Each structure stands twice: as structure tokens, then as C-alpha cells.
């Protein structure tokens, strides 16, 4: 970021929050250009809330059963001054009205190489389809389901002995790396949405044992 001020990030989560933890861990590094401003869950028993509390980050349950759920959620996010929203295992589909309220400010991570296998159980879909390569995708959220412009992807081979559990675990290793990396790139002003595509400036990405597109070096 040009000003030296850290980008404040809101996290939306519904479950255990492993990608949330990856972002929390990244945010404690002194040179990381983003900070977690709040974690917002639609489930009162989500482990993500406990992870946030342990990290000293505001943890907020917003009851989805009440009226105007998304308006209340948006108000909570705006109250903590977050400039980016990261969906991390958030299991509700955001309405077009909510997305329009935060244009180009909401991103998601999905366990497949989009546009292949959108929706639930991307790993299972990949195994059933018999593809040779699977992976994960960080993308902007738009009005569709897993249809927004792609920012980063990481690919892993599917092994003959893979089960949904083993493949998911291998993909998750990359999820925990490219999600914090994507937030860093956004905070540093290196991510530029151009219609249905995303341009990254000044980025050099590569990794042994898998690959990330575009090629980015992960230390």
C-alpha cells in the first residue's frame, strides 16, 4: 500500500476456519500489509469465532434467522472500517445487492480450478470427473456462484490412490498459502480487475511440488 497504512480485512466464515487461521497467522507478521478487523459468522457455534477470540480479533455472530440479515451484516462490517471482505468457508450465497454494496471488495477461495467444478464439494466433483489435475482458486465474488474474475490459482496432481479426504488435504495446503498471498497483493495495490479478468502487476510466482498461476514465489 502506498500510504503505509494496513488494509483492514473482514472475514466471513461458517465453520472451522482453517483459512481464517492462515490469514490470522499472516497478519501477525510485521511486514504483512493487512490486518484482520473482524470475523463475522452466521453460525453461533462456528470454530472460526473461537479462533478470532484467541487472536484478539472481534468475533461477531450475526443471526441469519432475523430480518434484514445482510443489511445487519453489512453494517457490522462497515462499523469496523474494513476495505476488503474475505469469504473463508462462508456457506451462504451473498445476494447481488450485498455484492453491489462492496464493489470489487469481496473475494472467496474455492477448492477447484474454476471455472470447473463450482459449488459444493469441488474435490469430489473433480474425482468423479476423472480429471488429472485439481486445485484451488481465489476469485472476486460477483452475482453468480463461483463465477467472478480469477485472481490466483494453485494446481495439484490427482494421484491414482486419492480419496476425497487426501485430495482435499493436499489442496488445503495450497489454500492456506495463496489466500494470504492474494490479500497481500491486493493490499499492495498489485491486483487490478479489468472487466471479467484480473491483471497482476509486478508479481513473480512459482512453487515446487505444484504450481500457482500466475507463477508467484512462496517463501
- Give the dihedral of Cα atoms 136, 29, 84, 216; nearest 10 deg: -40
User: Which of 110, 139, 176, 207 is an active site residue?
Assistant: 110
- Sheet strands side by side (includes 84-87): 59-61, 34-41, 7-13, 84-87, 106-110, 133-140, 150-157, 211-213
Containing 58, the helix (H) or strand (E) segment is none
For residue 110, indicate whether it is catalytic.
Answer: yes
Which residues are 38's β-sheet partners? 10
Any alpha helices (H) in the chain, and if so which ranges?
A: 18-27, 47-54, 69-79, 96-101, 122-129, 164-187
What residues are annotated to the active site?
110
Amino acid at each position: 500500500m502506498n500510504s503505509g497504512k494496513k488494509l483492514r480485512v473482514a472475514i466471513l466464515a461458517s465453520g472451522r476456519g482453517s483459512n481464517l487461521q492462515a490469514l490470522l497467522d499472516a497478519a501477525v507478521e510485521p511486514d504483512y500489509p493487512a490486518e484482520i478487523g473482524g470475523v463475522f459468522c452466521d453460525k453461533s457455534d462456528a470454530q472460526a469465532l473461537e479462533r478470532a477470540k484467541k487472536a484478539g480479533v472481534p468475533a461477531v455472530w450475526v443471526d441469519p434467522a432475523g430480518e434484514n440479515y445482510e443489511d445487519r451484516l453489512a453494517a457490522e462490517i462497515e462499523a469496523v472500517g474494513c476495505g476488503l471482505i474475505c469469504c473463508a468457508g462462508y456457506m451462504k450465497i451473498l445476494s447481488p445487492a450485498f455484492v453491489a454494496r462492496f464493489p470489487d471488495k469481496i473475494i472467496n477461495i474455492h477448492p477447484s480450478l474454476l471455472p470447473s467444478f463450482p459449488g459444493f464439494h469441488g474435490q469430489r466433483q473433480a474425482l468423479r470427473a476423472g480429471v488429472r489435475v485439481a486445485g484451488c482458486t481465489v476469485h472476486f465474488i460477483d452475482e453468480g456462484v463461483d463465477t467472478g474474475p480469477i485472481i490466483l490459482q494453485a494446481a495439484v496432481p490427482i494421484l491414482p490412490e486419492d480419496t476425497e479426504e487426501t485430495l482435499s488435504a493436499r489442496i488445503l495446503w495450497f489454500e492456506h498459502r495463496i489466500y494470504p498471498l492474494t490479500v497481500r497483493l491486493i493490499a499492495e495495490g498489485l491486483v487490478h480487475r479489468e472487466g471479467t479478468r484480473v491483471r497482476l502487476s509486478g508479481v513473480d510466482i512459482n512453487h515446487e511440488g505444484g504450481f500457482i498461476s500466475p507463477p508467484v514465489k512462496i517463501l
